Amino acid sequence: MPDQQEIYKRILVEKIGSETELKYASKIAAGNHNQGIRVETNKGVFFLKLNFDHEKDVLQREAEGLEALRKSTFLKIPQIHGYGRIGDYNFLLTEFIQADRNSADYWENLGLGLAHLHLTHQEKFGLNNNNYIASIPQKNCPTQNWTEFFIEQRLDPLLGKAYFDKLITLGFFKKFQEIYPKLESIFPSEKPSLLHGDLWSGNILTTSNGQPCLIDPAIYFGHREMDIAFSRLFGGFDSRFYQAYESILPLEPGFDNRISIYNLYPLLVHLILFGTAYLPGIERTITKFIR
């Protein structure tokens, strides 16, 4: 098996050019499956994501998501230099974002930029292909009805996996499904909007001029409140973000009551990825809505 340095060199030559010389590489992020590497060359600095054991298209789908975001918002999106597979490695090579402090208008621009993204619509909920949220496959079969899409392509597949992985009991599996008949009356009517799909603070960088930059999308056309609810899951963003967003796209009344419903999906993702520490939050929401 080639060593890591040789892998980096081969990717750089393939995607940047034969005259590209690797000067220095340092790992700046590492998870269960991915590595993030800062790569310095004679042609500039790049960010390289390597993936070792996922489906072969996982980083291709991420690249496609980034390009879709670029076409639909004025927010910064890293430039893609290439993706592919070398040996057992999936890779994605992008522009390196040099982090800095937030500018004074950072949160306002993030809110306005997300609203700009959500103004991109299509006829049906879903996408023309399946993709991933983190390492979990995400179904996107185009569907006319949001509630149907949310149940059949967001909740039910992960609920089934959680049961298969012995993270929940059969009793809880059945209890969870009792919420389904109630959802149609909970969601307001909305056009399918292009979503980032994994909108939390860890997937937003700050550029060298202090502006927000979106990374690691799990895009699809969905109910726009999904992104806003996800942003509230781990403490929420600055209030200026929400004010700026609603200056363009006000939320329908009752959103605060719907947040926990939308966040059943990311909580199921975290349950599957990280274990039962995320189960109590799911249980609280189910208990609240099936009383």
Residues 250-274: tens digit of each pLDDT: 999 999 999 999 999 999 999 999 9
- The string of DSSP letters for 135-149 reads TEEE----BS-HHHH
Residues 160-200: tens digit of each pLDDT: 999 999 999 999 999 999 999 999 999 999 999 999 999 99
* Catalytic residue chosen out of the listed positions 3, 88, 165, 198: 198
Specify which residues 143 forms β-bridges with.
125
% of the chain with per-residue pLDDT over 90 = 89
**Residue (of 167, 175, 148) closest to 286 by Cα position:** 175
**Average pLDDT of the chain to the nearest whole number:** 95
Task: Report the CATH architecture of 4-95.
Answer: 2-Layer Sandwich (3.30)
Q: With 80 as the cut, is the pLDDT of residue 32 above it?
A: no
Q: Which fold has domain 106-289?
A: Aminoglycoside 3'-phosphotransferase; Chain: A, domain 2 (3.90.1200)
What letters, b where the CB count within 10 A reaches 16 and e where it falls short, cover 143-157?
A: beebbebbbebbbbe
Residues of the chain with CATH 3.30.200.20: 4-95
Report pLDDT for 98.
87
Token look-up 């890779």 returns 91
Question: What is the helix (H) or strand (E) element at residue 45, kind and residue range?
Answer: strand 44-51
How many other C-beta atoms are found inside a 10 Å radius of the C-beta of residue 136? 14
Catalytic-residue membership of 198: yes
Residues of the chain with CATH 3.90.1200.10: 106-289
